[in-house]
Amino acid sequence: MAIREIAQELYKLNRKIDALKARIEQADEKEKSKLEKELAQLEKEKTTLQRKLNELKGKPLPI
């Protein structure tokens, strides 16, 4: 993947994460736990994309 494609995917993922956080705030307890699991998965995916982007740019991701 090119830097631009990864950056675009990262942007879309950030938008999904923001929307999901807003849904979690309004959800009941049962739905909240399901949404939090989905949020955790999206956060992992975000970290992976950030690492790929930083590798392509030549900068390591701070841990």
To which residue do tokens 């939090």 refer?
A: 36
The H-assigned helical ranges of the chain are 3-26, 29-57
C-alpha distances out from residue 37 to 5, 16, 18, 24, Å? 26, 14, 15, 11
Largest CA distance in the chain: 43
pTM: 0.83
Q: Which amino acid appears at position 5 of this protein?
A: E
In this predicted model, what pLDDT tens digit does every residue of 3-59 receive, in sequence order? 899 999 999 999 999 999 999 999 999 899 999 999 999 999 999 999 999 888 886
CB atoms within 10 A of CB 51: 13
